[in-house]
Amino acid sequence: MTNQANSTNSTKSFKGKSLAVTIATVLLFAAVLTFAIYEGTKNTITVTANGEQEQVRTHAETVGAFLEEQDIETGEHDFVSHSADTPINEDMTLEWDAAEQYAVTVDGKATSAWTTKNTVSDILATANIELTKYDKVTPALDAQVDEDTKISVEKAYEVTIQDGVEEKKVWSTSTTVANFLKENKITLGKLDRVESEMDALVLPNSEVKVVRVEKVTDVVEDSVKYAVETKKDDTLLKGSEKVVQKGQNGLVEKTYEIVKENGKEVKRDLKNEKVVKEPTKQVTAVGTKTVVASVSRGAQKETVKTASPEKAPTATATTVKATTTPKATPVKTTTVKETPAAEPTGGKEFYVSATAYTASCTGCSGITATGINLKANPGLKVIAVDPNVIPLGSKVWVEGYGNAIAGDTGGAIKGNKIDLFMANRSDALSFGRKQVKVRILN
């Protein structure tokens, strides 16, 4: 009874274990099948993350869910090839690139740019930094950099350069005058100068002046004014002059060293002087002969005679005889009323402004420029003239006055003016000023 009971219990126990194994096997199979079915339903995505590529299987339905599944947090400036709500499908290619921050300075002011690109030009474009072809960028625009590289931009500005007489505007960045000239291929000569310190900074809207300096030699010929020598001549009437020897200017050759700045002469130094032709002095004879007048009574015709070979003037009045005797014996003058002489013919004729004068005044010597004593000979007809118009000693005819001699001068008698001598003061005052005809007879 007991053995049978144990056999029965053993049979029951084996059957229980077999059932458990069967159930476990079924469950494992189901799990494997389920896993296989689960894995088989996943989509395969090719992911390129920061340049590294791999294939990933996922049940995520959207790109956003996939990135979350992969614990990928995207930043504002990151690059994702698809939007977050893009559905996932088999054999999809997804690209994600994390942005990096780059430090940039513009004219010393710091800024930054977030971008997934690593060339300098792309980084500056991302930072909205506009460039001109004259701006200076370090490193070069086509250089590839990492986030530890500092990018520098120097903005160009306009500078005026005055090179000699030529002026132009150029673009420059912050630099010294020396480098600025080098950048613009401006070379300096030995004498040239720059009106700025070479190590000074070139600032916006400034002006760099280059003065072009040159030295040249100039040879010129200058005339040398001749000297004038005067000598007394007792054969000429006092007050008259005669050129005995005509003067001629000399010639001198002068060598100058000339300094020019921007083409204009600023300095001239005489280095050598050589006489090419000596000047010839001019010799002028000055008359010293005086005329002493004497009067003969009762004569109807006046004659004037001098020791000069020139002809003496004649006039209708009392007879007057002039000699070169040093002293004349004074005689009593007899005034004869006369009729003005008729106008003669021949000789140079022109009109002058005529006034009258008298020797009877306080302080008047009565001696003319040619030595005639008018006080002693009140009957003579003498006129004061400008010797450049009417030569002294000339015989003249004056309208309304008659024949006279040009024997005197006056400070106010210049040009076409004459002064008529009258013995009577009242006659001289009443004459006034008149326009009269004059004829030079010799």
- List pLDDT tens digits, range 392-413: 999 999 999 999 999 999 989 9
pTM over 0.95, yes/no? no
Mean pLDDT on 207-227: 93
406, 390 Cβ separation under 8 angstroms? yes
Three-state secondary-structure class, residue 158: strand
Q: How far apart are CA 376 and CA 156, in angstroms?
A: 101
DSSP state of 429: H
329, 294 Cβ separation under 8 angstroms? yes
pLDDT given for residue 297 in this prediction? 32
Q: How far apart are CA 108 and CA 388, in angstroms?
A: 86
Among 20-24, 71-75, 159-163, 312-316, the least confident range:
312-316
Q: How far apart are CA 290 and CA 322, in angstroms?
A: 10
Q: Which residues pair with 201 in a beta bridge?
A: 176
89: tokens are 């499908």
Intrachain domains 216-286 and 290-440 with the same fold = no
| Percentage, residues of the chain above pLDDT 90 | 44
Residue 3 binned pLDDT confidence (cut-offs 50, 70, 90): low
Strands 92-97 and 79-80: antiparallel
Three-state secondary-structure class, residue 183: helix
Measured in residues, the chain has a length of 442
pLDDT given for residue 77 in this prediction? 82
pLDDT given for residue 188 in this prediction? 93
396, 441 Cβ separation under 8 angstroms? yes
Mean pLDDT on 2-19: 55
H or E segment at 258?
strand 250-261
H or E segment at 32?
helix 2-40
Among 55-69, 106-120, 163-177, 342-356, the least confident range:
55-69
pLDDT given for residue 7 in this prediction? 53
- List pLDDT tens digits, range 282-311: 999 888 876 544 333 333 333 333 333 333
Measured between alpha carbons, how far is residue 373 from residues 292, 406, 423 in Å? 7, 14, 12
Strands 395-398 and 382-384: unpaired
Q: In the chain, what's the furthest Cα-to-Cα distance?
A: 228
Q: Which long-range contacts (CB under 8 A, 24 or more apart) does 375-378 make?
A: 376/293, 376/330, 376/333, 377/293, 377/294, 377/295, 377/320, 377/333, 378/333, 378/335, 378/423
pLDDT given for residue 296 in this prediction? 34
Mean pLDDT on 50-61: 80
Strands 434-440 and 348-357: antiparallel
CA angle 317, 323, 325 (to 5 degrees): 145
Write the DSSP string, 211-266: E-EEEEEEEEEEEEPPPEEEEEEEEEETT-EEEEE--B-EEEEEEEEEEEETTEEE
Mean pLDDT on 230-245: 84
Confidence check: pLDDT of 137 > 80: yes
pLDDT given for residue 88 in this prediction? 85
Cβ neighbours around 405 below 10 Å, total: 28
Confidence check: pLDDT of 317 > 60: no
pLDDT given for residue 6 in this prediction? 53
Q: Which residue has the higher pLDDT, 2 or 91?
A: 91
Residue 53 binned pLDDT confidence (cut-offs 50, 70, 90): confident
Strands 319-323 and 314-315: unpaired
Amino acid 23 reads I
* Topology given in CATH for the domain delimited by 43-97: Ubiquitin-like (UB roll) (3.10.20)
pLDDT given for residue 45 in this prediction? 83
Confidence check: pLDDT of 349 > 50: yes
Amino acid 219 reads V
Please give the span between the terminal C-alpha atoms of the chain, in angstroms, as a whole number: 207
- List pLDDT tens digits, range 91-119: 788 888 888 889 999 988 999 889 988 89
137, 151 Cβ separation under 8 angstroms? yes
pLDDT given for residue 39 in this prediction? 55
* Topology given in CATH for the domain delimited by 290-440: Barwin-like endoglucanases (2.40.40)
pLDDT given for residue 312 in this prediction? 32
pLDDT given for residue 283 in this prediction? 92
pLDDT given for residue 275 in this prediction? 92
Cβ neighbours around 377 below 10 Å, total: 25
Q: Where are the domains of the chain?
A: 43-97, 100-154, 157-211, 216-286, 290-440
Question: What does CATH list as the number for 216-286?
Answer: 2.20.230.10
Mean pLDDT on 300-328: 34
**Average pLDDT of the chain to the nearest whole number:** 80
Three-state secondary-structure class, residue 356: strand
Determine if residue 120 is left, alpha or beta; phi over 0 gives left, psi from -120 to 50 gives alpha, anything else beta: alpha
Residue 46 binned pLDDT confidence (cut-offs 50, 70, 90): confident
Residue 9 binned pLDDT confidence (cut-offs 50, 70, 90): low
